[in-house]
Amino acid sequence: MANPTAYDRLIDRFARIATINECASMLGWDAAAMMPSGGGAARGDQMAVLAGLAHAELTDRRTGDDLAEAEAVGEWQTANLTLMRHAYVRATALPADLVEAQARANSSCEKVWREARKASDFAQVRPYLEEVIRLTQQEAAALAPALGLSPYDALMDGNQRGVGAADVTPVFAAYEGFLATALPAAEERQARQPEPIRPQGPFSIVAQEALCRRLSERLGLDFTHARLDRSAHPFSGGTATDVRITTRYVESDFTQAVLAVVHETGHALYERGLPSDHARQPVGEAAGMAVHESQSLIVEMQACRSDAFLSWLGPELLATFGGDAEPYRPENLGRLWRRVERSFIRVEADEMTYPAHVILRFRLEQALMSGDLRAADLPGAWNEGMKALLGIVPPDDAQGCLQDIHWYDGAFGYFPSYTLGAMAAAQLMMAARRAVPDIDAALGRGDLSPLLGWLRVNVHAIGSRLGFNDLLRAATGKPLDPADFQAHLTARYLG
């Protein structure tokens, strides 16, 4: 371009930054899915260099000059420029040496966490976690004055912009009150029903993997732009044109693998549906992690655990694994996969008790960041919190404070997104059903396309032009309304 404007120069610079971050995303996927354990130290260096390069690009003086000069035309450009300026404020608040130190510490801690979880030995990873917490506290302290937020809200801002602890706290308190009465009532209703029949294994991992790929394709994921691999913790990563999803398999039960792939496919479909005209620009990215979780949960919980979809899935499972047909009947799958249970593991929790796991982590990470809770005291505080919320105590740290990767990889302020996403998913599904009356009939044929088509228009194609509540308002007519989630749970578990 002969005479690029300041905005044109910013477009180019942010595209370079996005490309660097794409490289880091691929290395992160490789570390979780492919890399041998001996590569951890070098990988930490690689991630640190990439983080430093992206930070340098973003904080370059010319970026600031162009942001001061740039003018935007139209809704998309205006939103993009606003997001660019926000990213610049965040980046310039952080010293480059802190950014690189965090990348190294997070990578090191995550590798040790893998072994500590296997051994259920929190002491093994504690010093590494202490370093991650120390650096994250420094990050929060640097970001807070620049953003005009509290330190913890500054961390939340990096995951779901515009949503802070003051927004989340009353929502979680209200849900805790709902759970106190709804959970015993659901358990009592469940006790009157026949016990679910568990399919009897072993279930070939090769057969599970083939099934998971077929199911993901059926839901709409194009594998010319995606991969399915294995990792210790299921996740979705990569880029919008090269999506990487993972799951984990056990021969004794295919449920974990299948439901994880359905969940991660929801994330992947969102990435694939983002506006390609704004690729590698802030406005073309996902609208935040709560929105991202809404897209995984509307696929997994709202669609694929519905009666309609299970009526299609049951015969598919029977054809794959054979044996007795009874466990694969849709009513039995419903009792099996929608069973309410006070359990230790968040990723295996039912949708009614799952928010309790998030509430616990929300409270603990605030205490860790404020210094009110030391890392050394985390296992005990975790167990006390689980007892208060669900009346159970983990027998070991592998089923307690070591179960999630997030804190050990430096992700603080992320957990609220899971439950905000579940609530948004229920709200979006209600709106989709009103707009597209044949959604459930299609799900009964294993066809997600009517729902996906509605999401493509009302969520995916919006990118991050709208924030969390504005996106919900545009799609459903109102900002987040937790009552829709409670209504969904009441209908499914108490009706």
232, pLDDT greater than 90:
no
For residues 166 and 348, which has the higher predicted lDDT (pLDDT)? 166
183, pLDDT greater than 90:
yes
Rounded distance between C-alpha atoms, residue 131 and residue 101, angstroms: 10
DSSP letters along 48-59, please?
HHHHHHHHHHHH
pLDDT tens track for 401-438: 999 999 999 999 999 999 999 999 999 999 999 999 99
Share of the chain above pLDDT 90, in %: 95
Question: How distant, in Å, are the alpha carbons of 30, 114, 143, 243 from that of 24?
Answer: 10, 20, 22, 14
- The structure's pTM equals 0.94
Rounded distance between C-alpha atoms, residue 268 and residue 261, angstroms: 10
Rounded distance between C-alpha atoms, residue 255 and residue 110, angstroms: 26
pLDDT tens track for 96-146: 899 889 989 998 999 999 999 999 999 999 999 999 999 999 999 999 999
44, pLDDT greater than 90:
no
Rounded distance between C-alpha atoms, residue 352 and residue 344, angstroms: 14
pLDDT tens track for 57-94: 999 999 999 999 999 999 999 999 999 999 999 999 99
Sheet holding 242-247, edge to edge: 226-230, 242-247, 236-239
Contact assessment for residue 339 and residue 354, using Cβ atoms and an 8 Å cutoff:
no
Q: H or E stretch including 228? A: strand 226-230
Contact assessment for residue 464 and residue 283, using Cβ atoms and an 8 Å cutoff:
yes
pLDDT at 356: 98
Token pair 């995550």 is found at: 110
The residue-averaged pLDDT of 172-181 equals 97
Token pair 């439950």 is found at: 419
Q: What's the mean pLDDT when you consider all of the chain?
A: 96
Contact assessment for residue 374 and residue 438, using Cβ atoms and an 8 Å cutoff:
no
The residue-averaged pLDDT of 475-484 equals 97
Select from 295, 415, 421, 414 the least CA-distant residue to 351.
421
- Catalytic one of 264, 271, 285, 351: 264
In the chain the domains, ranked by start, together with CATH numbers, are 6-160 (no CATH), 167-494 (1.10.1370.30)
Q: Is 22 known to be catalytic? A: no
**Strands, E assignment, 242-321:** 242-247
1, pLDDT greater than 70:
no
Rounded distance between C-alpha atoms, residue 267 and residue 451, angstroms: 15
> What confidence category does residue 312 fall into, taking pLDDT thresholds of 50, 70 and 90?
very high
Neighbours of 436 (CB within 10 A): 14
> What confidence category does residue 347 fall into, taking pLDDT thresholds of 50, 70 and 90?
confident
